[in-house]
Amino acid sequence: MAVFPFSQSLRERTWANHDESEGATFMHDLMIGKGTRDDYVALVVQHYFIYEALESVARDMAKDPIAGLFITDQLTRLPALEADLEFLVGADWREVCEPLPATNRYVSRIREVNGWSGGFVAHHYTRYLGDLSGGQHIYKVMQKRFGFDTNGIGFYLFDQIASPTEFKNTYREQLDAVDWDDSERERVIEEVLLAYRLNTELFHDLSAAKDAA
């Protein structure tokens, strides 16, 4: 019987949820040109709170023998998000930007897995490999749609990563090399599925906030 690498099992088990998340109406509209600049700004605002939590936990987990393997400054997004928000919202962005309820739930879960290497890696994998996979496409669409150069879309520019494909391949090799037993691997997969659900809930909240505006 063939034994699949963990990274392959993870991708196959979560692929349907990935499609559901990407197919949420808010993001779909933004990508096909129906969304507005304000919609894009709203998304960046929520990303800030998510990555502030994720990268805060990363600092705590940096010396963890498993989580530390995946933490690298090449992926850090918070400085880019801060610069994007200063450009998009203004110097007072910290005073006027607030998390949505779904974002608060997402942030709470990220902080809850602090200390659990598998849980942290699940959220790290979901966010950063998603950014590397879809970021260049989103960057180009937003650039064309709203006339950005690099200001306002720095979040999607991984200038320290020469080849996103090679980086993702190495990341998956590291996943396969972690000595998790079947039970722990299942827990990690379930946490990735939860991360996708939380992300989808965020898109629904963004749509609801837009409708209510």
pLDDT tens per residue across all 213 residues of the chain: 346 799 999 999 887 655 555 546 888 889 888 899 999 999 999 999 999 999 999 999 999 999 999 999 999 999 999 999 999 999 999 999 999 999 999 999 999 999 999 999 999 999 999 999 888 888 899 999 999 988 999 999 999 999 999 999 999 999 999 999 999 999 999 999 999 999 999 999 999 998 887
Residue 154 confidence (pLDDT): 96
Q: Which domains does the chain have, with CATH numbers?
A: 6-212 (1.20.910.10)
Q: d(Cα 103, Cα 29) in Å, to the nearest integer?
A: 20
pTM, to two decimals = 0.94
Residue 168 confidence (pLDDT): 96
* 111-115 contacts, C-beta under 8 A, 24 or more apart: 111/53, 111/56, 111/57, 113/57, 113/191, 114/57, 114/60, 114/61, 115/60, 115/61
Residue 21 confidence (pLDDT): 54
Q: Are 190 and 8 in contact, with CB atoms under 8 Å apart?
A: no
Residue 17 confidence (pLDDT): 56
Residue 213 confidence (pLDDT): 76
Question: Both tokens of residue 3?
Answer: 């034994």
Residue 182 confidence (pLDDT): 95
Residue with tokens 């990563």: 161
Residue 33 confidence (pLDDT): 87
